[in-house]
Amino acid sequence: MSAPLWTIAEVARALGLKGSFPDTAVDFVTQDSRLVKPGSLFVALSGTPSGGFISSFASGRDGWDFADKAEASGAVAMIVPHEIAGIRVPQLVVNDTLIDGLWALARASRARFKGQVIGLTGSAGKTSTKEFLAAYDNAYASPSSFNNFWGVPLTLCNARPDASLWVVEMGMNQTGEIARLSELTRPTVALVVNVQPVHLEKLGSLEAIRREKVSIAQGLPDDGVLVLPAGIAAPEWSGTIVRFGDGTEVRELAHVPQGDSWRVTAQVGPRQTAFDLTPGAPHRVQNALAALASIQAAGLDAASLAAKLDSVGIMTGRGVEQTIGGVTVIDDSFNGNPASMAAALESLKARHMTGGRRIAVLGDMLELGGDAPAYHRDLAKYLSGIDGVYCVGPLMRHLYDLLPAGQGLGWHEDPATLQARDVAALLRAGDVAVVKGSKKMFWVNKFVPELVAALQAKA
């Protein structure tokens, strides 16, 4: 029988608690009472983040309000800020369940792992790149998009000590957050997937975004490696840098389309390697190169990862395809920014078509600050080869007004009132339609499932 992830006694020692605690096994750590299963440690977080962090999902209720539900679901212990009446499992009491509880346990987890840790961040494509890295044999990676002030420590707490590699994704809601997450994670390799105009309303400039992303290097040891795209400066880091992209040591040499997939030949350090990529290859190549560069920088076998890249699926909302009534819908609605929007359009243009049209359903790109209208107008240069464009949102009006006669299929201002059946009526058998925009435009409103239902009703 394999050793448990933790024991209650080990957790208590990691938190600096005195007293006697049982050696009961803990196999899962969670802050969500709905995810508790037998053998779980439940971390009862405050509904209002502590530690100076901010969250767009702050709750009016605290985690300890759900202690009874966690116990009923099988929690064997819980981290709480005070004793909870009626709870029979061990309660580990700390002043602040985030910083003194979850973060303290995450530090203890990281301290006991002696293998390679790749921390990654970027303006777009973080999770997709993380999924590529997670394909490495016996790797442990952040689940879903666990990349914030609670997601990163949860990843560390649940990471298997016997894994060959840990992969930890990091995001930000405020300046300084990536540096703090990196200092907690202490990566041996830090990857910046890209630097793009995202969160401009918060950070103000592309240079400020660069500084924030490159601050992931603050958690590196002196002999660590920073992995960067071509053209991104990092004067803040004086150690080793490995680069990927055109003209660098990790770059694409050639590709051959195979239907909607690509066979890619790449230079990875001193060796050439070939690998396949699933549909959406044009804007997955850079993510694949970033992953291979990071594995190479970690001193691991990049060729073994390359052989697995074709089996890495596309996550929901990030390019998943389905065909209904002859219409292929590409759901890329999870998020949108200028770089990822351009990549989605280039990928659509690269589609092998046997009839039908290439259609783009585009929603506003948010958080771009005062330059937002210009960023939307700039998308026009990527639309040659796109047969029809349907625009959604007030900012997308700037693009729609530039479309030539026959290319514009319509404009709708408010995504909340957008009717999927109206868009479905524009599509016909043989068409390939990509749906792309910031999360609030299509993802939150579950527009793509409604579009699929409308196409099914129409078929």
For 181-228, how does the pLDDT look when each residue is reduced to its tens digit (9 = 90+)? 999 999 999 999 999 877 777 777 889 899 999 999 999 999 999 999
Give the tens place of pLDDT for each residue, 244-295: 999 999 999 999 888 778 899 999 999 999 999 886 667 789 999 999 999 9
Distance CA 75, CA 13 (A): 19
What DSSP designation does 2 have? P
Determine the pLDDT at residue 57.
62
- pLDDT at residue 1 greater than cutoff 60: no
Closest CA to 373 of 350, 347, 396, 345: 396
- pLDDT at residue 315 greater than cutoff 80: no
User: Which residue shows structure tokens 């969670």?
Assistant: 30
Distance CA 243, CA 229 (A): 5
- Of 22-31, 52-61, 261-270, which gets the smallest average pLDDT? 52-61
Distance CA 124, CA 339 (A): 8
Q: Is-contact 216 146, C-beta < 8 A?
A: no
Distance CA 159, CA 373 (A): 43
Give the burial class of 338: count Cβ atoms within 10 A of its Cβ; 0-12 exposed, 13-18 middle, 19 or more buried. Answer: buried
Return the CA Rg of the chain.
23
Give the tens place of pLDDT for each residue, 121-148: 998 888 889 999 999 999 999 988 899 9
**Both structure tokens of 9:** 């006694």
What is the identity of the amino acid at 112? R
Determine the pLDDT at residue 359.
97
